[in-house]
A and B are shown apart, each in its own frame.
Chain A
Amino acid sequence: MNSFLAEYGTMLLQETVATLEMSLISTLFAYILGIPIGVLVTITGEHSILPCRPVNVVLGWIVNMGRSIPFLILLVALMPFTRKVVGTATGVEGMIVPLIVAATPFVARMIETSLMEVDDGLIEVAHATGSTTWQIIRKVLIPESIPSILMGVPITLITIVGYSAMAGVVGGGGLGDVALRYGYYRYQTEVMIATIIILIILVQIMQSLGSFIAKKSDKRTR
């Protein structure tokens, strides 16, 4: 055990940090992009506060398209684009672009689901008090669905961790890369097992912490 840690410890730690870096940064950007898209898709729906069929249909299409492309294919297909944007299509930087592209439609759908849960009665009050569309979004729709939106964060994050593990294919770094290099190419099973254990622990921590924060934020339970 000690000799294993001495030999691979530093490398495993570095790659864990790389995985976290990729996942957290892409999740952050996916939310920055996905929230407005999710809000737009929701409010332009037929019975929502700003019905607009063309916008709703087109955005819905784009989101579905993004969600239906398998990540590995997206990763390869985006390589030229990625190179243009960050200068390289490999390594941690090279992974962030495809991860954001994959996660944004995912986040948009999660946001839409959360916003749809808001009680119609609250929208009605907002209208009855003379709120503008923007005020309804900012002061009713989003604040009332914060706990539900927060519940979605670990789900997104864990999905992205899973995607990021495919980075190995393009030499993208992170734990997936380690598992592929040592476990698959060099038959060093114990390194692969170590990466699996680390991934399991990461996912557990993300889920528990995420759920805890979401529950804590919800004023309906007390």
Chain B
Amino acid sequence: MIEIKDLAKIYHTDHGEFKAIEHINLTIEDGDIFGIIGMSGAGKSTLLRCINLLERPTDGAILIDGRDITGLSGKELLQLRRQIGMIFQRFNLLMQRTVEANVSYPLEICGMPKPQRKKRVEELLELVDLTSKAKNYPVQLSGGQQQRVSIARALANRPSILLCDEPTSALDSLTTNSLLELLKDINAKLGVTIVIITHEMSVVDKICNKVAVINDSRIIEQGMTKEVFANPKESMTRLLISEMQGGGTENE
């Protein structure tokens, strides 16, 4: 379980302080596929990156299974990050490594012996259906395939949480659908808790059981996806839903 309590992140820029997120309160249960949706610049990535401390919160707490992680540093921080997988909009694969070597990376850095690594990489490539591409380099793969490699890499150390920062925003709609199916499968099969950030309501609609809407650094609405869709309270939520339905206008 991830409990986010009154979280804030302030950036110090040349133009003074900038509150990227503030007063964030969320509870993400084990096994959830939790969507966080908002417009560009709302603070989605900042919020997600706080969960594995890629970004240090300025204020508030993040409890993972009851333990506040915001103070972790050194070895404990590395340990935490090894237990949380993360994927990105631009895949971020190591371009000079083969597919299998990319998937092997997280195992290498925690010192898993080679024979075990090899076996684990095979399992992972099977999971994302890329066994035949093991020896290929990322540049030889399509966007969807590259994102599947990055999913395999993120799952290498059997994390209990998978953080996804706009994982389908660089993909076409068909590829998006099959990738979302894969994430859903992984959630069902492995029980991994998924936190997914997006600016598209259709992504939430397809796989998230819960959703939080973030606008202007704050969460303005949250709940079960079904309920939020049936009864959106905020105009921003209605806008995002109507955009998904191809309406473009917000009025009923």
Chain A residues, CB < 8 A from B178:
none
Q: Please tell me if the beta carbons of A124 and B96 are within 8 angstroms of each other in the complex.
A: no
Once bound together, how far apart are the Cα atoms of A222 and B105, in whole Å? 23
Q: Please tell me if the beta carbons of A129 and B88 are within 8 angstroms of each other in the complex.
A: no
Q: Please tell me if the beta carbons of A129 and B95 are within 8 angstroms of each other in the complex.
A: no
Q: Please tell me if the beta carbons of B81 and A222 are within 8 angstroms of each other in the complex.
A: no
A139 within 8 A of B: yes
Q: How far is the CB of B24 from chain A (nearest CB, A)?
A: 20
Q: How far is the CB of A135 from chain B (nearest CB, A)?
A: 5
Shortest Cβ distance from A142 into B: residue: B96
Chain A residues 134 to 154 lying within 8 A of chain B, measured CB to CB, are 135, 139-140, 143-144, 146-147
Residue-wise, chain B 81-107 has the 8 Å CB interface mask toward A (1 for contact) of 110101010101011110000000110
Are A121 and B94 also in contact (CB < 8 A) when A129-B81, A132-B78, A219-B137 are?
Answer: no
Q: How far is the CB of A114 from chain B (nearest CB, A)?
A: 13
B190 within 8 A of A: no
Q: Count the B residues whose beta carbon is within 8 Å of the partner chain — how many?
A: 28
Q: Please tell me if the beta carbons of A131 and B109 are within 8 angstroms of each other in the complex.
A: yes
Once bound together, how far apart are the Cα atoms of A144 and B137, in whole Å? 13
Q: How far is the CB of B100 from chain A (nearest CB, A)?
A: 13
Interface size class of A (residues with CB under 8 A): 20 to 34
Contact of A124 among B92, B95, B137, B157 (CB under 8 A): B92
B224 within 8 A of A: no
Q: How far is the CB of A22 from chain B (nearest CB, A)?
A: 32
Chain A residues 91 to 135 lying within 8 A of chain B, measured CB to CB, are 119, 121-122, 124-125, 127-132, 135
A10 within 8 A of B: no
Q: Please tell me if the beta carbons of B88 and A130 are within 8 angstroms of each other in the complex.
A: no
Q: Please tell me if the beta carbons of B92 and A119 are within 8 angstroms of each other in the complex.
A: yes
A129-B81, A139-B108, A219-B97 known, 11 other contacts, Cβ within 8 Å: A119-B92, A122-B94, A124-B92, A125-B86, A125-B88, A125-B94, A128-B86, A132-B78, A219-B96, A220-B137, A222-B137
Q: Which residues of B contact A (CB under 8 A)?
A: 52, 54, 77-82, 84, 86, 88, 90, 92, 94-97, 105-106, 108-110, 137-140, 153, 157
